[in-house]
Structure 1
Amino acid sequence: MTTLLTTPVPTTAGDLTLRHGAARVLLNNWTGNSTVPSHGLYPHQWSWDSAFIAIGLRHLSVRRAQRELETLMGAQWSDGRVPHIVFNPAVPLDAYFPSPDFWRSSRDGARAGAPAGTETSGIVQPPVHALAAWLVHLADPEESRHRGFLSRMYGRLAAWHDYLTGSRNLGGGGLTAMVHPWEPGMDNSPCWDGPLKRVEPATPSSYRRADLDHGQPSERPTDLDYGRYVRLAADYRDRGYTDASGQHAFAVEDPCVNALLIVSEHALARIAKETGENPKLHQERAAHLTDVLVQRLWSPTDGMFLCRDLVGGELIAKRSLAGLIPLIVPGLPRHVVDALLDTAAGSSFRLGEVPMAPSYDLTGRAFDPSRYWRGPAWFNTNWLLQRGLRQYGQHSAAGRLRSAMLTAAGASGFAEYVDPFTAQARGTQSFSWTAALTLDLLADVGTAPSPGPTPGALA
Structure 2
Amino acid sequence: MSLRQAAEKVLLGNWTGHSTVPSRSLYPHQWSWDSAFIAIGLRHLSPRRAQVELESLLGSQWSDGRIPHISFSPAVARDAYFPGPDFWQATTTGGVETSGIIQPPVHALAAWLTHQADEQESVRRGFLPRVYPKLVAWHTYLRTRRDLGGRGLVAIVHPWESGMDNSPAWDAALARVTPAPLDSFTRRDTDHASPGDRPTDLDYGRYVQLAATYRDHAYDDATTPFQFALEDPAFNALLIASEHALADIAEALDLDPAHHLKAADELTAALGELFADGLFHARDLRGTPVTAGTISGLIPLIVPGLPQAAELLTTARGDRFGLGRVHLVPSYDLTGPAFERGRYWRGPSWFNTAWLIHRGLTTLGEQQHADQLRDDVLKLAESTDFAEYVDPYDGSPRGAQTFSWTAAVALDLLSCT
TM over 0.5: yes
> Is the CA contact (8 Å cut-off) linking 1:170 and 1:245 kept in structure 2?
no
Task: Give 2:123's aligned residue.
Answer: 145
Which amino acid in the other structure matches residue 83 of structure 2? P
After TM superposition, give the deviation of residue 205 of structure 1 in Å: 1.2
User: Is residue 2:227 matched to residue 1:249?
Assistant: yes
Task: Give 2:14's aligned residue.
Answer: 29
After TM superposition, give the deviation of residue 219 of structure 1 in Å: 0.2
Task: Give 1:90's aligned residue.
Answer: 75
How many residues of Structure 1 are paired with residues of Structure 2 in the alignment?
417
**Aligned pair partner of 1:426 in 398, 403, 417:** 398
**Aligned pair partner of 1:330 in 280, 304, 312:** 304
Task: Give 1:278's aligned residue.
Answer: 256
Post-superposition Cα deviations, 1:42-89, rounded to whole Å, max 9, x if no partner, equal: 000000000000000000001100000000001100100000000001
After TM superposition, give the deviation of residue 355 of structure 1 in Å: 2.0
> Is the CA contact (8 Å cut-off) linking 1:76 and 1:115 kept in structure 2?
no
* Matched residue SS, 1:115: coil
After TM superposition, give the deviation of residue 276 of structure 1 in Å: 2.4
C-alpha distance in 2 between matches for 1:199 and 1:363: 27
Aligned-CA RMSD value: 1.0
> Is the CA contact (8 Å cut-off) linking 2:154 and 2:231 kept in structure 1?
yes
User: Is residue 2:285 matched to residue 1:310?
Assistant: yes
* Matched residue SS, 1:93: coil
Mark the runs of 5 or more structure 1 residues left unpaired by the alignment: 1-15, 107-113, 446-459
Task: Give 1:222's aligned residue.
Answer: 200
**Aligned pair partner of 2:351 in 370, 379, 384:** 379
C-alpha distance in 1 between matches for 2:83 and 2:404: 21
Task: Give 1:48's aligned residue.
Answer: 33
> Is the CA contact (8 Å cut-off) linking 2:301 and 2:360 kept in structure 1?
yes
C-alpha distance in 2 between matches for 1:90 and 1:163: 30
Task: Give 1:369's aligned residue.
Answer: 341
Task: Give 2:140's aligned residue.
Answer: 162
Post-superposition Cα deviations, 1:7-54, rounded to whole Å, max 9, x if no partner, equal: xxxxxxxxx710010000000000000000000000000000000000
Task: Give 2:323's aligned residue.
Answer: 351
C-alpha distance in 1 between matches for 2:190 and 2:258: 48
Task: Give 1:403's aligned residue.
Answer: 375
Post-superposition Cα deviations, 1:158-193, rounded to whole Å, max 9, x if no partner, equal: 000000000000010111110000001000101111
C-alpha distance in 1 between matches for 2:390 and 2:22: 16
Task: Give 1:452's aligned residue.
Answer: none
C-alpha distance in 1 between matches for 2:291 and 2:93: 39
Task: Give 1:451's aligned residue.
Answer: none
User: Is residue 2:304 matched to residue 1:319?
Assistant: no
Which amino acid in the other structure matches residue 428 of structure 1? A
After TM superposition, give the deviation of residue 390 of structure 1 in Å: 1.2
> Is the CA contact (8 Å cut-off) linking 1:370 and 1:419 kept in structure 2?
yes
* Matched residue SS, 2:123: helix
After TM superposition, give the deviation of residue 277 of structure 1 in Å: 2.1
C-alpha distance in 2 between matches for 1:282 and 1:34: 28
* Matched residue SS, 1:344: helix
User: Is residue 2:361 matched to residue 1:389?
Assistant: yes
After TM superposition, give the deviation of residue 273 of structure 1 in Å: 1.2
Task: Give 1:13's aligned residue.
Answer: none
> Is the CA contact (8 Å cut-off) linking 2:213 and 2:224 kept in structure 1?
no
**Aligned pair partner of 2:163 in 181, 185, 188:** 185
**Aligned pair partner of 1:127 in 99, 105, 110:** 105
- 1:122–1:425 Cα change, 3 Å: same
C-alpha distance in 2 between matches for 1:67 and 1:153: 11
* Matched residue SS, 1:429: coil
